[in-house]
Amino acid sequence: MKLFVGLGNPGPKYAFNRHNIGFMALDRIAEDQGFGPWKSKFQAQITEGRLGTDKVILLKPQTFMNLSGQSVGEAMRFYKLAPSDVTVFHDELDLAPGKARAKTGGGHAGHNGLRSIHQHIGADYDRIRLGIGHPGDKSRVSGYVLSDFAKADQMWLDDLLRGICDGAALLADGDAGKFMNAVALRVNPPKPPSPKPAPKAQTKTAPIEPEPDTRSALQKLADRFR
């Protein structure tokens, strides 16, 4: 069994915030992969389903971001899971919008949701870092992550979420490399080969007609004996 955790803040006020891209990823997986209805448990919204041959629990903590680890810890203890069974989807300021990276272990880099999870289960879990870009100034970070995605972001955001859904079964099976390939095929699909130019049609040169002979019969006879 695997536990996929999406990070975000509960309630319609935050639903389309950049900080809630983890929730969005799980919502897309649940919808497209035929998971059951969401229900309240472990201070979270959860749903169960299968990705390939693996049973997967999707969990969206409802504790607000800073206390996400409480919910994750409760679910892990209930299902008797290890940190290696957990994958957390979260927003990443240090990645360009639309980029995704898989990572195992490491620090929380100041992300309050990850900080809380570290406190409750340690650092040895998997993460899918979902790039939202950086506002350019540290003082603007809080307002940036708690604001909605712009209309101009909708195309890459949809491609990213579709890619996550495409590769979800591979991720549940432990193949992060193939999962990343599936995401890349959606976000940066290969360009179709350029059509070869049509061969130029060869134009036939019209035969040159000889100029009419205007010599007199006497001149023609004389020219033969020159």
Could you give the CA distance from residue 93 to residue 96 in angstroms, rounded to a whole number? Answer: 8
Could you give the CA distance from residue 32 to residue 35 in angstroms, rounded to a whole number? Answer: 8
Could you give the CA distance from residue 202 to residue 180 in angstroms, rounded to a whole number? Answer: 50
Q: Phi/psi at 54 (nearest 5 deg)?
A: -100, 135
- Given a contact cutoff of 8 angstroms between Cβ atoms, the answer to whether 19 and 146 are in contact is yes
Q: Give the helix, strand, coil percentages of the chain, each rounded to 5.
A: 40, 20, 40
Structure tokens at 129: 């870092």
Structure tokens at 30: 């649940």
Structure tokens at 87: 């994958």
Q: Where are the alpha helices (DSSP H) in the chain?
A: 21-32, 68-79, 112-121, 141-145, 154-172, 176-187, 217-224
Q: Which of 19, 90, 118, 134 is catalytic?
A: 19
Decide if 118 is catalytic.
no
Q: Annotated catalytic sites, by residue?
A: 19
